[in-house]
C-alpha cells in the first residue's frame, strides 16, 4: 500500500473518508462532500445510530452525484479525544474497513479540530501511521489464496492543508513501522527458516543502515565462559550465536558524543523451544517458534532507531539458541558456570531463557558499561496467568526507569505492569548444590525468573519485560493484526525519544 499526502480536494473516484465530531457535527470536508452528494451524509446519519463518537463508522455506498464507490464517515468524538494514539487507532480502522475496496484507492480528508491537542498535519501523520501498522500481513507461504481474499487497497491518500508538514511527520513514524514490520516478520517465520544462524544474518542486514553488527560463534562464547547460554543450545544440531548491534547516533545531538555510554537492549532468542529434556506437551508446541520474540524486538528496535537516525548511542545484544532434546542435550540436575562465574543448577531445562539472558546481560554490562539495560523475553507462562494478554510484566531495580517505561507504554498502547522483587523471593532460587537454581517453587514463577536475571545486572539501572503474553495475538486489534505483534518496538522507541535524545 502506497501512502501519500496532498492538499484538500474532493476526490472523483474511489472511497472518500470524512469525519464527524461528537453529536454528529460534520467537519468542513464532510460538509463539502455532503453538499456534493445532495445531503446524502446527513440523511444517512438521521437513518442510523451514528453520533460521531470515537470509533464509530458509517458507510454510504455509491453516493448520488459522484463516481465514488462509497463514503466512509468516521467519528472523532470530542476534541479532547483527538490524541496521537486515537488517531493511530482511527487509521487502523480505516484500513480495516477499506482494505478490499474495488478501485484500490482511498482518500482521507483531515481537518483541524478546534481545541484539539494535535494539529491537522499531526492528525494526518498519525492516521497514516495507524493504517500502515494495521496493513501488515504475513502471507509469503500462501500459494493458493484467491485474489478476492487478498487486500485490494493499493493507495491511501491523506489530505490536509499543511500536507508537507504531515509528510515530514510521517517520515519518522514510517521508520518505526519498518522496525515493527521487521520484528513481525522474524517472529512469524517458522523455525526451519529462522534459527540462530539465519536470525543472525537477518540482524546483519542492519549494517546498510549504519548499525555495526558482530556475531559471536560458539568458540568465542566458550572462551568468554558463557556456559549458561551454551548449555541451552548443546542439544541442537544448530550452533548458538550471540549477536551484538551498535548504533552510534549521540554525536548528532548538541553535547552528545560517540563515546557516550549507550542504552542497552538485550533479547532472548530461543528460535525454537521444545523444552529440551523437560519436554513440553505436544499441543501448542508449534507456538514456540516465537520464543525468540525478545530478540526480534531488539533487532526491530535497532532498525527503527537507525532508520530514523536517533540521536542516541544504543546497543542491542541477543542470545540465539535452539532448545532441543538429544543425546547431547542438557539434563535436569546439570550444573553450569555462567560468564559471571556464578554457578547454576539446572533443575528444569524448559526454564532456559533465563540461562541465555544470564550470559547476554553479563556480557553487555561488562563490555559496554551501559547507562541502562532493558531485556525483553517470552520468559514465563506464569506472566500470562498473572496478566493475561493485555499487559507485559515489568520488573526493575530502578523506580525512575519503571516510571518512564510505564508512561511510554501508555503513550503507544503497549502496556506494562510492574511486579515486585525482594530478598524473600530471591531466596527461593538458592541452591544446595550451586550458587543458584534456575527455577523456584510452584508460586511466583515470573518473579523468581526476574530475581534470577537480577543476579547478572549488578548496579546497572535495569528492567526486565516479560512479553510472553503479548508477543502473539489471536485476534485483530486496531493497529495490530492477528499474529506477531512486535510488542516492545514502539514502547522502547518512545522511551528513547522522550528521555534520551534531548
- 399-405-406-407 Cα dihedral, nearest 10 degrees: 110
Cα–Cα distance measured from residue 384 to residue 388, given in angstroms and rounded to the nearest whole number:
4
DSSP 3-state of 386: helix
Tell me 402's DSSP state. Answer: H
For residue 162, indicate whether it is catalytic.
Answer: no
DSSP 3-state of 201: helix
Query: Per 3-state DSSP, what percentage of the chain is helix, strand, and coil (rounded to 5)?
Result: 40, 20, 40
Cα–Cα distance measured from residue 429 to residue 269, given in angstroms and rounded to the nearest whole number:
23
Packing angle between helix 293-307 and helix 163-188, nearest 10 degrees? 150
CB 85 within 8 A of CB 413: yes
CB 456 within 8 A of CB 338: yes
For residue 311, indicate whether it is catalytic.
Answer: no
Tell me 261's DSSP state. Answer: P
Q: Active-site residue among 78, 137, 238, 280? A: 280
Q: Which of 78, 65, 134 is nearest to 106 (CA)?
A: 134
**Residue recorded with cell 540462530:** 196
Q: Active-site residue among 268, 289, 308, 354? A: 354
Q: Which of 165, 73, 53 is nearest to 118 (CA)?
A: 165
Could you tell me how many residues make up the chain?
502
Catalytic machinery residues: 280, 354
Amino acid at each position: 500500500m502506497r501512502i501519500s499526502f496532498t492538499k484538500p480536494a474532493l476526490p472523483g473516484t474511489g472511497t472518500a473518508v470524512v469525519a464527524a465530531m461528537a453529536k454528529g457535527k460534520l467537519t468542513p470536508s464532510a460538509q463539502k462532500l455532503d453538499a456534493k452528494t445532495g445531503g446524502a451524509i446527513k440523511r444517512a446519519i438521521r437513518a442510523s445510530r451514528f453520533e460521531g463518537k470515537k470509533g464509530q463508522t458509517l458507510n454510504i455506498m455509491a453516493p448520488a452525484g459522484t463516481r465514488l464507490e462509497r463514503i466512509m464517515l468516521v467519528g472523532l468524538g470530542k476534541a479532547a479525544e483527538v490524541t496521537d494514539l486515537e488517531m493511530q487507532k482511527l487509521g487502523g480502522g480505516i484500513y480495516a474497513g477499506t482494505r478490499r475496496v474495488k478501485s484500490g484507492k482511498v482518500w482521507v480528508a483531515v481537518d483541524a479540530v478546534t481545541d484539539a491537542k494535535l494539529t491537522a498535519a499531526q492528525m494526518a501523520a498519525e492516521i497514516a501511521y495507524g493504517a500502515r501498522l494495521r496493513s501488515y500481513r504475513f502471507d509469503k507461504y500462501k500459494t493458493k489464496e484467491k485474489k478476492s481474499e487478498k487486500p485490494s487497497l493499493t493507495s491511501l491518500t491523506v489530505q490536509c492543508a499543511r500536507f508537507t508538514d504531515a509528510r515530514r511527520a510521517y517520515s519518522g513514524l514510517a521508520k518505526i513501522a519498518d522496525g515493527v514490520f521487521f520484528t513481525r516478520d522474524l517472529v512469524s517465520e517458522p523455525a526451519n527458516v529462522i534459527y540462530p544462524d539465519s536470525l543472525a544474518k537477518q540482524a546483519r542486514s542492519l549494517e546498510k543502515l549504519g548499525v555495526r553488527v558482530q556475531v559471536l560463534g560458539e568458540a568465542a562464547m566458550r572462551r568468554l565462559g558463557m556456559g549458561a547460554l551454551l548449555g541451552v543450545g548443546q542439544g541442537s544440531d544448530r550452533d548458538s550465536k550471540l549477536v551484538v548491534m551498535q548504533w552510534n547516533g549521540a554525536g548528532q545531538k548538541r553535547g552528545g558524543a560517540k563515546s557516550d555510554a549507550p542504552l542497552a537492549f538485550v533479547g532472548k532468542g530461543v528460535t525454537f523451544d521444545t523444552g529440551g529434556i523437560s519436554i513440553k506437551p505436544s499441543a501448542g508446541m508449534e507456538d514456540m517458534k516465537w520464543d525468540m520474540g525478545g530478540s526480534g524486538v531488539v533487532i526491530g528496535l535497532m532498525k527503527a532507531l537507525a532508520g530514523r537516525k536517533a540521536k542516541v548511542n544504543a546497543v542491542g545484544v541477543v542470545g540465539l539458541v535452539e532448545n532441543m532434546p538429544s543425546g547431547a542435550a542438557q539434563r535436569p540436575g546439570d550444573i553450569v558456570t555462567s560468564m559471571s562465574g556464578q554457578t547454576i543448577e539446572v533443575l528444569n531445562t524448559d526454564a532456559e531463557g533465563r540461562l541465555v539472558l544470564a550470559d547476554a546481560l553479563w556480557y553487555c554490562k561488562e563490555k559496554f558499561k551501559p547507562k541502562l539495560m532493558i531485556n525483553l523475553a517470552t520468559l514465563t507462562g506464569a506472566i500470562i496467568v498473572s496478566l493475561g494478554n493485555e499487559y507485559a510484566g515489568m520488573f526493575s531495580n530502578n523506580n525512575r526507569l519503571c516510571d518512564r517505561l510505564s508512561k511510554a507504554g501508555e503513550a503507544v498502547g503497549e502496556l506494562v505492569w510492574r511486579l515486585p522483587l525482594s530478598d524473600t523471593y530471591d531466596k527461593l532460587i538458592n541452591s544446595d548444590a550451586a550458587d543458584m537454581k534456575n527455577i523456584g517453587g510452584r508460586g511466583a514463577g515470573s518473579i523468581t525468573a526476574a530475581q534470577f536475571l537480577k543476579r547478572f545486572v549488578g548496579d546497572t539501572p535495569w528492567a526486565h519485560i516479560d512479553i510472553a503474553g503479548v508477543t502473539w495475538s489471536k485476534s485483530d486489534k486496531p493497529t495490530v493484526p492477528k499474529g506477531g505483534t512486535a510488542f516492545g518496538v514502539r514502547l522502547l522507541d518512545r522511551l528513547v525519544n522522550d528521555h534520551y535524545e534531548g
